Structure 1
């Protein structure tokens, strides 16, 4: 086997592993609306615990990381010291969580998840402008197909009344913050390991959200042990595991494609909402989930080689 073909085989294997991590990460964060709904503290306090409680396991992973996973440079391509740059995803994720957790209190799980996942539009634009990714017409078609499926997914439960508009606007604001967060992580993954990015961004997010808990007048203490278990589940499953896997994948896959694959989340969240929260799941929504998956498959063919 020639060296060129060996490199190609290695790249394909890395892409397959990253794709598996991306899908598993999306499924893990799909549990987050359930945890947020069941949380015994307010939405901002829930976001605070989501990041802060994830710091200890993330620190352990970072502390015992392989030697080849250490940072590869002392300065990023933006010319800013690493600590300064690593603040950026943390602050963006804090904004994402603040609006996302708040939106779940005012709209359905399916609505909140769909509207917050308009992030692929933000990411695609950012990937083209900031990361210099090539965005093909085939990928744009795949993006349109996936969003048509996502619209079908929530079409049966979508409401335009006053009870839903506020929550829907909050969820859409989340998309802006999360899209910017994914671009920042993708940019940083060129010079920083997944462990380092997740540890610092989680710590910064938690510290940024703590004063917001006080400003929102929320209690910091769950009333029961079950309430603590829910918060630990949110922090360890949805954040440390889910966001960690997505951050890993962003180092090996195009950001535009990765953001589209994360649309697996609203499909899974709608199913989990039906299973545990009693939210309706109609035939149109099931068909919409299938269309989302078709869009992802089309995007894979458009963006990935092999």
Structure 2
């Protein structure tokens, strides 16, 4: 059941890059972030009410300021800064690039799991990640002759920054959920990120805004209710029941499905570097299947 939910979450996320691209053509980045997470938080209210008994037992009896700080930190890093960088990178680059570059999140997640959660990383995993990083370098345009800072490298680096920020939610959420229900933590995180983005919109004159005929209703609906309220909330449920070093492997589902969705919806094409980079990434995934998740604070030799 947990594995099935993890797969569904990543399939839903892979389509989000297409809708982020669509929304960014009409609305400012910060405004998309604000609307998405405020609506996502609003949609969580019925869920919190329905599960109020479980939430009370897991949270209210032992909730501490440290837990609230953890949830707010997730909102700041993952639902304010990260989507802002991600949307800007997608706006300047390709939606399929974001879906492919997301394979770097497990790299960040594994390192953070080792540093902060004591989960072990084996030599086999490191060897697999070497293949994955090689594929990412190819996809980012680093190996294009004479174009180190050309092509799509700059927007891809912006997307990579957003992915690193998002990977912080793994260790923070694992520690926060010790004394807080996953869905309550998600609600606080969505609300924090949405409010911060809304304040930013006020400061730069992007709010209030006029709803025009080309308002991306479908994109906002998907990002708020499917990608956020559904996928992110269920992902915390998964993290509650699975080691972080094991859970991050499911993120590898996204690159292939994101490229297919981008081709279907946006007409984006696959480049030769996409195919070559994808081969390296797939090899890395096969090699890295032996990820260990024992709680040991070391890298095995």
> Aligned equivalents of 2:217 and 2:254: distance in 1?
24
**One of 13, 16, 20 as aligned partner of 1:32:** 16
Specify the alignment match of 2:174 in structure 1: 186
| SS, match of residue 241 in structure 2 | coil
Task: Return 220-229 or 289-298, whichever deviates more.
Answer: 289-298
- The root-mean-square deviation of aligned C-alpha atoms, in Å, is 3.1
1:275 aligns with 2:264: yes
Which 10-residue stretch deviates more, 106-115 or 131-140? Answer: 106-115
Contact 1:30–1:238 at 8 Å: present in 2 too? no
Q: Shift in Å at residue 70 of structure 1?
A: 4.2
Assess, with a 3 A threshold, how the Cα gap between structure 1 residues 32 and 61 changes in structure 2: closer, same or farther: same
Q: For residues 46 and 71 of structure 1, do their structure 2 counterparts lie closer, same or farther at Cα, with a shift above 3 Å needed?
A: farther
Moved more, 264-273 or 151-160: 151-160
Q: Return the offset for 1:206.
A: 0.1
Q: TM-score, normalised by structure 1?
A: 0.80
2:112 and 2:53 map into 1 onto residues whose CA distance is: 32
Q: Which moved more, 1:35-44 or 1:137-146?
A: 137-146
CA contact (8 A) 1:122 1:176 kept: yes
Is residue 257–residue 300 contact of structure 1 (8 Å, CA) maintained in 2? no
> Alpha-carbon deviation of 1:97?
1.0
Residue 156 of structure 1 contacts residue 285 of structure 1 at CA under 8 Å; is this kept in 2? no
Q: CA deviation at 1:293?
A: 5.4
Q: CA deviation at 1:87?
A: 1.0
Shift of 1:143: 3.1
Q: Which runs of 5+ in 2 are unaligned?
A: 295-301
Name the counterpart of 1:91: 76
Instruction: For 1:157 and 1:145, locate their aligned partners in 2 and report how far apart those are by CA, in whole Å.
Output: 15
- 3-state SS of paired residue (2:291): helix
Cα-to-partner distance string for 1:181-225 (whole Å, 9 max, x where unaligned):
222112223332221111110000000111222345546444237
Count residues with an aligned counterpart. Answer: 287
Superposition TM-score, scaled by structure 2 size: 0.81
Show the counterpart of 1:201: 189
**Unaligned 5+ runs, structure 1:** 1-16
1:167-188 CA distances to partner (integer Å, 9 max, x unpaired)?
Answer: 2232121122111122211222
Asked if residue 235 in structure 1 is aligned to residue 224 in structure 2, the reply is yes
Runs of 4 or more off by more than 6 Å in structure 1? Answer: 152-159
Which of residues 33, 36, 60 is equivalent to 1:50?
36
Distance in 1 separating the partners of 2:68 and 2:98: 32
Q: Which moved more, 1:126-135 or 1:288-297?
A: 288-297
**Partner residue in 1 for 2:109:** 123
CA contact (8 A) 1:41 1:221 kept: no
CA distance in 1, matches of 2:246, 2:272: 27
User: Does the residue aligned with 1:192 lie in a helix, a strand or coil?
Assistant: coil
How much does 1:61 deviate?
A: 1.2
